[in-house]
Amino acid sequence: MWMEVDIGHSLLGKVRSFLYKPPACYLVYRCVGQTNIIFRRFVTSICSSGCLLTPFISDDGDLLAFYRAGKRPNDLQRVESIGFFCAPADRKYFQADIRIRLYSAG
């Protein structure tokens, strides 16, 4: 599954990104069969280009397993749920609407 996300910055967020650094945005996810929820920093400036969501590749070991001969993508982690968040004080830097596009590769 391929995911493309549009997370826009408010005018204040654009000014901050230009003068200092972009505000932090996080991806929250849970994989199939896991009870813990994981969050990672999400780069909003390139998220509209898209990323591989399932199978989920979280580190170099997963990447090697993805390309290993005889390994099927279904053997790797699959994402069950996702979400996005930022610190409450940083909400003013983002637009309220988020657009997510999901595409099936199979």
Q: Does this model's pTM top 0.95?
A: no
Asked whether residue 37 carries a pLDDT value surpassing 70, the answer given is: yes
Q: Which of 18, 40, 21, 43 is nearest to 29 (CA)?
A: 40
Q: What is the pLDDT of residues 78-106, one digit of tens each?
A: 899 999 999 999 999 999 999 999 998 76
- The whole domain housing 73 covers 2-103
Q: Taking Cα atoms as reference points, which of 35, 44, 51, 34 lies closest to residue 85?
A: 44
Q: For residue 14, which of 76, 92, 100, 102 has the smallest C-alpha distance?
A: 92
Number of domains in the chain: 1
Cα gap 42→47, rounded to integer Å: 8
